């Protein structure tokens, strides 16, 4: 097997057929987004941010998967697989179980509470406003640092490796297409295009997987050749760059393993649980479902698809290292700089390298389209959710009398601002975590999100949790996590062959172990502070917890919640009276057309009809045969997931 990829294969540029495939895909994707846009009630908050709560299970499942598996996952999973083997697939296999927790444990409470966003749920669950605003700001920061900039950076790696286009030019083109239907169409447009992009991603990844295994000679050859994929240029006789001996095991040494087994079993579960069950991007898709059967059906479809990345992404990443050892597996900073313009390492190019070298003309265009699908689906999902958070939890708090028109325009403008901030952060990613993109993502989330998960778990399953316990427990956890993150990025990582120079809290405590410590610390702080302070009266907790989700009693809002709602309603009514006689100008009408916004239609429903609609939107009832069907599928999935864990552990 060739050490140098160029000795065995010749890179071919994008041919005419590839260009035609890409153009057809982009045109079809744009057409799908525009079609969905015009099918959306863009003049209402529910229509824009929650797709009118009428989405079906297959669109929910496809959107959950494509929102999760973005270009960052393709590049990051394959890159970490190339560097250290299959253990990184634990993030995907753990996600299978967490997706079921989303549909069965968390979403029923969110829907019963009748909220648009998770910070809004915290406001209704605990009262006050500081938890809502704090969580909204924190979520937006996490999106910038671990989602938007990462996916854009991963997309640029692919574009640069595949077609030699300037990375920023490529990103601008994809962002422009994504923005057209995200800004104008809202969540329904995003979910419909996600469904299309899931088909493209899965098809392209399966084709490349088949080509990769065929090129290397089958999975048995991977087991034989991966341990031998040692780069030619090592540094001073060090063991840097050597494939780990436990490359084909999910569970590794608790001290020396790259992903130690306690961190794998518990730490990754904490991160996955936060991501699927208490992160706005993923939860918002389930909130848009038509009913609970479609919520659970979407979770099941996404969970089935989560089995694929081990075979379609991680193993191909390892194969890329076998085929292009000196390039993908380089450790010499000078060599890496020449190969991928990153002295920290070049494992991130593992997946793009396979596409460039193995795909024939036409299929290469399909895979390029798949990567564009991955980038665009994850970006549009985050854009829509971030827009929802900012609009509903921050802007509406600043301007309580905001009309629906104002909120929808603000949400669209905020997307554009978010893009600019994320582009500025992109250069920081290159040198992070030894050049392994997936490790960067998980390290940052491991320092920030464990307190969030502990908060939502207690909010839903322990009614004694109060606002003081939730807020101060969250603050304590965030201070500890931010301190560790500052030390981690401040000191950096020792380069290959260098002596360890970092404090023991960084060098000796793996970030996944720190994730467990931080989660337990936050949980204890919230419980203790809650027990030392007054409980929340039962009348405010109706349909806010797992135990009261089916209650038919009328919930009494908190005093400040009621005052805010009354203030907002009175301001809106006053503005409507002032504008009743004002005709819409031509420039404003043109702006509405460009933005895809249509003014709210007059409400002609009676009070009884409005009450019935509200009841349906917060209903979590399930019918017999479909309830048994989704439950049976969940059991089958968990059984298969346990089998995979046992087989590869």
List of domains in the chain: 10-648 (1.20.1730.10)
Of 126-140, 360-374, 419-433, highest mean pLDDT: 126-140
Whether 370 contacts 385, CB under 8 Å: no
Residue closest to 8 by CA, chosen among 368, 326, 339:
326
- Computed over every residue of the chain, the mean pLDDT equals 78
Q: Residue 483 and residue 488: Cα distance in Å, rounded?
A: 9
Residue 380: Cβ-neighbour burial (10 angstroms; 0-12, 13-18, 19+):
buried
Tell me which long-range contacts 607-616 makes (C-beta under 8 A, separation of at least 24). 614/114
Residue 541 has pLDDT above 90, yes or no: yes
Query: The pTM is what?
Result: 0.82
Can you give 17-71 as a three-state secondary structure string?
HHHHHHHHHHHHHHHHHHHHHHCCCCCCHHHHHHHHHCECHHHHHHHHHHHHCCH
CA angle 525, 451, 147 (to 5 degrees): 170
Mean pLDDT across 459-487: 93
Residue 183 has pLDDT above 60, yes or no: no
Q: Residue 295 and residue 292: Cα distance in Å, rounded?
A: 5
Integer angstrom CA distances of residue 458 from 73, 161, 218, 544: 30, 46, 47, 12
Mean pLDDT across 346-359: 85
Neighbour tally for 189: CB within 10 Å: 29
Assign 197 a pLDDT band (cuts: 50, 70, 90).
confident
Sole residue written with tokens 């998967």? 65
In 597-627, which positions are buried (b, 16+ CB within 10 angstroms) versus exposed (e)?
bbebeeeeeeeeeeeeeeeeebebebeeeee
Residue 418 has pLDDT above 90, yes or no: no
Q: Residue 99 and residue 273: Cα distance in Å, rounded?
A: 8
Mean pLDDT across 511-530: 95
Residue 354 has pLDDT above 60, yes or no: yes
Identify which has the larger pLDDT, 425 or 367: 367
Residues 487, 83, 345, 421, CA torsion sign: negative
123-132, 141-150, 592-601: the lowest-pLDDT one: 592-601
Question: Angle, nearest 10°, between helix axes 16-38 and 167-216?
Answer: 120
Residue 509: Cβ-neighbour burial (10 angstroms; 0-12, 13-18, 19+):
middle
Assign 38 a pLDDT band (cuts: 50, 70, 90).
low
Q: Residue 495 and residue 500: Cα distance in Å, rounded?
A: 9
Residues 289, 290, 294, 295, CA torsion sign: positive
pLDDT exceeding 70 applies to what percent of the chain?
A: 73
Whether 299 contacts 106, CB under 8 Å: no
Mean pLDDT across 609-622: 64
Integer angstrom CA distances of residue 53 from 37, 45, 288, 616, 638: 15, 11, 4, 10, 28
Q: Residue 311 and residue 226: Cα distance in Å, rounded?
A: 15
Q: Residue 215 and residue 86: Cα distance in Å, rounded?
A: 19
Integer angstrom CA distances of residue 257 from 272, 329, 418: 20, 19, 37
Longest alpha-carbon distance in the chain = 82
Whether 637 contacts 96, CB under 8 Å: yes
pLDDT of 405: 67
Residue 187 has pLDDT above 60, yes or no: no
Q: Residue 66 and residue 375: Cα distance in Å, rounded?
A: 9
Q: What would the pLDDT profile of 202-248 be if each residue is shown by its tens digit?
A: 888 898 999 999 999 999 999 999 999 888 877 666 667 788 888 89
Whether 103 contacts 300, CB under 8 Å: yes
Structure tokens at 281: 């991007």
Whether 263 contacts 271, CB under 8 Å: no
In 161-184, which positions are buried (b, 16+ CB within 10 angstroms) versus exposed (e)?
bbbeeebeebbeebbebbbbbbbb
Residue closest to 487 by CA, chosen among 454, 522, 443:
443
pLDDT of 1: 45
Residue 632: Cβ-neighbour burial (10 angstroms; 0-12, 13-18, 19+):
exposed
| Length of the chain in terms of residues written | 649
Of 228-237, 252-261, 455-464, 557-566, highest mean pLDDT: 455-464
Q: Residue 164 and residue 610: Cα distance in Å, rounded?
A: 56
Q: What would the pLDDT profile of 551-588 be if each residue is shown by its tens digit?
A: 888 888 888 878 776 766 666 566 555 555 445 566 66
Q: Residue 104 and residue 633: Cα distance in Å, rounded?
A: 12
Whether 398 contacts 50, CB under 8 Å: no
Q: What would the pLDDT profile of 286-336 be if each residue is shown by its tens digit?
A: 888 888 888 899 999 999 999 999 999 999 999 999 999 888 888 887 888
Q: Count of alpha carbons within 13 Å of 44, Cβ hemisphere only?
A: 14
Whether 128 contacts 341, CB under 8 Å: no
Our CA dihedral for 609, 108, 405, 397, rounded to 10 degrees, sits at 120
Q: What would the pLDDT profile of 94-141 be if each residue is shown by its tens digit?
A: 989 999 999 999 999 998 888 877 888 998 999 888 888 888 888 888
Q: Where are the alpha helices (DSSP H) in 227-362?
A: 261-262, 268-277, 280-287, 292-305, 309, 315-323, 325-328, 333-340, 350-358
Reduced to 3 states (helix: H, G, I; strand: E, B; else coil), residue 293 is helix
Phi first, then psi: give them for residue 478, nearest 5 degrees: -70, -40
Residue 383 has pLDDT above 90, yes or no: no
Q: Residue 397 and residue 600: Cα distance in Å, rounded?
A: 21
């Amino acid at each position: 097997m060739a050490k140098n990829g160029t000795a065995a294969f010749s890179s071919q540029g994008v041919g005419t057929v590839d260009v035609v495939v890409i153009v057809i895909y982009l045109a079809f994707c744009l057409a799908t987004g525009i079609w969905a846009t015009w099918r959306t009630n863009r003049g209402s908050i529910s229509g824009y941010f929650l797709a009118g709560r009428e989405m079906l299970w297959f669109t929910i499942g496809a959107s959950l998967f494509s929102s999760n598996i973005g270009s960052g996952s393709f590049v990051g999973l394959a890159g970490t697989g190339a560097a250290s083997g299959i253990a990184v697939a634990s993030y995907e296999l753990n996600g299978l179980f967490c997706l079921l927790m989303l549909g069965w444990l968390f979403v029923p409470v969110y829907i019963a509470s009748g909220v648009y966003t998770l910070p809004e749920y915290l406001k209704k669950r605990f009262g006050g406003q500081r938890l809502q605003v704090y969580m909204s700001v924190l979520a937006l920061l996490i999106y910038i640092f671990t989602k938007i900039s990462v996916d854009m950076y991963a997309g640029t790696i692919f574009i640069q490796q595949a077609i030699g286009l300037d990375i920023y030019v490529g990103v601008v083109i994809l962002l422009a297409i994504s923005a057209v239907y995200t800004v104008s169409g809202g969540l329904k447009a995003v979910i419909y295009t996600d469904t299309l992009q899931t088909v493209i991603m899965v098809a392209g990844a399966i084709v490349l997987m088949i080509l990769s295994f065929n090129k290397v000679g089958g999975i048995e050859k991977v087991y034989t050749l991966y341990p031998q994929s040692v780069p030619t240029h090592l540094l001073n006789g060090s063991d840097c760059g050597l494939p780990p001996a436990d490359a084909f095991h999910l569970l590794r040494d608790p001290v020396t393993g790259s992903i130690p087994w306690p961190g794998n079993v518990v730490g990754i579960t904490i991160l996955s649980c936060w991501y699927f069950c208490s992160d706005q991007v993923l939860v918002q898709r389930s909130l848009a479902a038509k009913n609970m059967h479609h919520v659970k059906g979407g979770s099941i479809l996404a969970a089935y698809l989560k089995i694929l990345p081990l075979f379609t992404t991680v193993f191909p990443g390892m194969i890329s290292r076998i085929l292009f050892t000196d390039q993908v597996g380089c450790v010499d900073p000078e060599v890496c700089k020449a190969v991928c313009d990153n002295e920290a390492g070049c494992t991130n190019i593992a997946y793009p390298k396979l596409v460039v070298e193995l795909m024939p003309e036409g299929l290469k265009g399909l895979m390029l389209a798949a990567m564009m699908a991955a980038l665009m689906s994850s970006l549009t999902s985050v854009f829509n959710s971030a827009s929802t958070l900012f609009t509903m939890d921050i802007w509406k708090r600043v301007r309580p009398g905001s009309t629906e028109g104002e909120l929808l325009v603000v949400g669209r403008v905020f997307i554009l601002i978010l893009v600019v901030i994320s582009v500025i952060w992109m250069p920081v990613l290159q040198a992070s975590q030894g050049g392994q993109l997936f490790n960067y993502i998980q390290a940052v989330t491991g320092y920030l999100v464990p307190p969030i998960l502990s908060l939502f778990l207690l909010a839903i399953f322990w009614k004694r949790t109060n606002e003081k316990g939730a807020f101060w427990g969250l603050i304590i956890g965030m201070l500890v996590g931010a301190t560790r993150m500052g030390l981690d990025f401040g000191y950096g990582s020792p380069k290959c062959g260098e002596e360890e120079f970092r404090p023991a809290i960084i060098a000796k405590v793996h970030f996944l172990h720190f994730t467990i410590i931080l989660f337990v610390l936050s949980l204890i702080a919230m419980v203790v502070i809650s027990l030392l302070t007054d409980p929340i009266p039962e009348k405010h907790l109706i349909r806010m917890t797992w135990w009261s989700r089916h209650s038919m009693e009328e919930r009494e809002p908190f005093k400040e919640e009621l005052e805010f709602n009354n203030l907002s309603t009175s301001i809106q009514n006053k503005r409507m009276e002032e504008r009743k006689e004002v005709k819409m100008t031509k420039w404003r009408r043109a702006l509405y057309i460009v933005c895809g916004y249509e003014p709210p239609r007059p409400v002609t429903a009676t009070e009884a009809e409005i009450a019935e609609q509200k009841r349906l939107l917060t209903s979590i009832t399930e019918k017999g045969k479909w309830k048994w069907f989704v439950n049976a599928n969940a059991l089958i999935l968990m059984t298969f997931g346990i089998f995979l864990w046992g087989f590869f552990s």
